[in-house]
Amino acid sequence: MTAATGSAALEELFAAAKEAQAKAYAPYSRFRVGAALRSDTGRIHAGCNVENAAYPVGTCAEAGAIAAMILAGDHAIAEIVVLGEGPELCTPCGACRQRLREFAKASLTVHVAGPEGLRARFTLGELLPHSFGPDNLA
């Protein structure tokens, strides 16, 4: 599946993720990741990975996109594209799956992409089954 086979809205998300990926700060792993999410208001928020010499201090692209969403005043994710390099799928890490869960339901569509376009799609529930989220604390 390529970005060209998706809807115009999905292509817009892919383009935002690709632009964010180009700005990633990854001097150690050289593995650049971009993420772009569409909030429930329809606005797009993007982020990139930012590495740090003290490895656990780095920030994932999804975390950056979520922070941008919150800063803009939005609070719910409608869909997300995660764009990584290399031949393998670049799905959100475990911590980012939980971050996404904070602002989305299990039905959230997570589009996984590579440089050539979209590669796969999952629901958040498939990536994080039986999750713990805000509903558990209501």
Contacts of 126 (CB under 8 A, 6+ apart): none
Residue 37's closest CA among 5, 1, 67?
Answer: 67
Tokens of 83: 């764009």
Specify whether 62 is catalytic: yes
Cβ(64)–Cβ(48) below 8 Å = yes
Active-site option among 11, 51, 62, 79: 62
Give the whole-angstrom CA distance, residue 39 versus residue 83: 18
Tokens of 16: 């935002």
Look-up of token digits 């290399």 = 86
| Residues known to be catalytic | 62
